[in-house]
Amino acid sequence: MKSDLKTRIRLLESDFDSALAEASDLQALEQIRIRFLGRKGLLAGLFGILGSLEGDEKRASGHLLNTLKDKMNTVFSEKARSLDMQSHGESFFDHSLPGNIGYIGRLHPLTTLLREIKSCFQSMGFIVAQGPEIETEYYNFDALNIARGHPARDMQDTLFIDEEQEIVLRTHTSPVQVHVMENQPPPVRIIAPGRCYRRDTPDATHSPVFHQIEGLYVDEGVSFADLKGTILTFAQRLLGSDIKIRFRPSFFPFTEPSAEYDFSCLICRGRGCRVCKQSGWVEISGAGMVNPAVFDYVGYDPERYTGFAFGMGVERIAMLIYGIPDIRMFYENDVRLLKQF
């Protein structure tokens, strides 16, 4: 009798498992519940047999039966839950519940502006060139005609990696010009965007790290008029067709003649405001015709080729466009600022 009950317990378990596996809807599941787990079902029948046993035999079989009962109930509930979800399908998802809103990443305003500036120049046929941020003094100064003893080479301005080896963090993107010209003959039409470093004490308009974009165009017959046309086209593509430009005479060792160029104020469009100090103009950066001395350094024939170069500070333009009053805000990574872009 004892072994008989044990056999029947095993049989019931496997019958129940295969019946559950075949059940494909809630109706079939209910039939299984009645047949196996109902008050007059097969499991209850085995408990009935248990009543006719005694002693150790009764205890052992009772334990087996109770374990089976727990297991059957658990497996049954799982199957019921999975069939229930299937039968509800999509409608089981409650669309009225409030969702979890995650943070969406954004591009940094400097990244966005850099990309826009690059695409303006690329549309005019300029190619993006890259150069190292760690430079020798030769590329950062000498080959750009910045003589030893020139104030720009002052230790106050330049961050040296190794003073004896004359290795510096580049103070401008101009050395990229030299690398490019050393490696290819004219025509050259490049922009070189990138990080620059200077030994500045951070304040509202100075940061020890900042971004510049350098432009260079060298070919036969390139003139100052080409420079003006390029800067004007760039300004109007980036900022709107009503932007005007003007050039003021200046001096840089690597260009001759040199100029500084201004845009009509981006805020008041030239009418006069606090940002442009009522002048209607904002200073952007420097430009000029490449000094023949620079061509000598890279082996270009200054009798045959002419070229123009220009630079611009990306942070400066971003501050003007976005009305950001302090350059340090670009590097603080404060999400309250960043999420406005």
Residues that bind Zn ion (CB under 5 A): 265, 267-268, 273, 275-276
**Residue in 79, 75, 61 with CA at minimum distance from that of residue 13:** 75
Strands (E) in the chain, as ranges, are 127-128, 134-136, 160-162, 167-169, 188-197, 209-219, 245-252, 255-264, 281-290, 306-313
Smallest distance from Zn ion to CB 243, Å: 12
Task: Output the smallest distance, CB 315 to Zn ion, in A.
Answer: 19
Q: Which is nearer to Zn ion, 274 or 336 (CB)?
A: 274
Q: Shortest Cβ distance from residue 263 to Zn ion (Å)?
A: 10
Q: Which is nearer to Zn ion, 15 or 260 (CB)?
A: 260
Given the complex with Zn ion, which of 68 and 267 has the nearer CB atom?
A: 267
Residue 151 three-state SS = helix
Q: Which two tokens stand for residue 160?
A: 């040296």
Sheet containing 160-162: order of strands: 134-136, 167-169, 160-162
Instruction: Kindly state the smallest distance separating residue 262's Cβ from Zn ion, in Å.
Output: 11
Interacting residues of 136 by C-beta distance below 8 A, sequence separation 6+: 165, 166, 167, 168
Cβ proximity to Zn ion: between 216 and 265 the closer is 265
By beta carbon distance, the residue nearest Zn ion is: 265
β-pair partners for 289: 308
Query: CB of residue 271 vs Zn ion: minimum separation in angstroms?
Result: 7
- What is the closest distance, in whole angstroms, from the C-beta atom of residue 248 to Zn ion in the complex? 17
* Residue whose C-alpha is closest to residue 43's, from 65, 64, 60, 61: 65
250 - beta bridge partners?
258
- Cα–Cα dist 16/331, whole Å: 66
- Whose tokens are 């317990």? That residue is 9
CB-nearer residue toward Zn ion: 65 or 265? 265
SS3 for 95-140 is CCCCCCCCCCCCCCHHHHHHHHHHHHHHCCCCEECCCCCEEEHHHH
Closest approach, Cβ 270 to Zn ion, in A, equals 7
Report helix, strand or coil for 34: helix
Nearest-angstrom CA–CA distance, 230 and 54: 105
Nearer to Zn ion, 53 or 273 (CB): 273
Q: How far is the CB of 310 from Zn ion (least distance, A)?
A: 22
Please report the beta strands in 207-270, taking only residues with DSSP state E, as ranges in sequence order: 209-219, 245-252, 255-264
Q: Which is nearer to Zn ion, 52 or 241 (CB)?
A: 241
Is 167 or 245 the residue whose CB approaches Zn ion more closely? 245
* CB closer to Zn ion out of 219 and 260: 260
| CA atoms within a 13 Å half-sphere pointing along the CA-CB vector of 158 | 25
Q: Taking a C-beta distance cutoff of 8 angstroms, is the pair 226, 305 a contact?
A: no
For residue 276, the minimal CB distance to Zn ion (Å) is 3
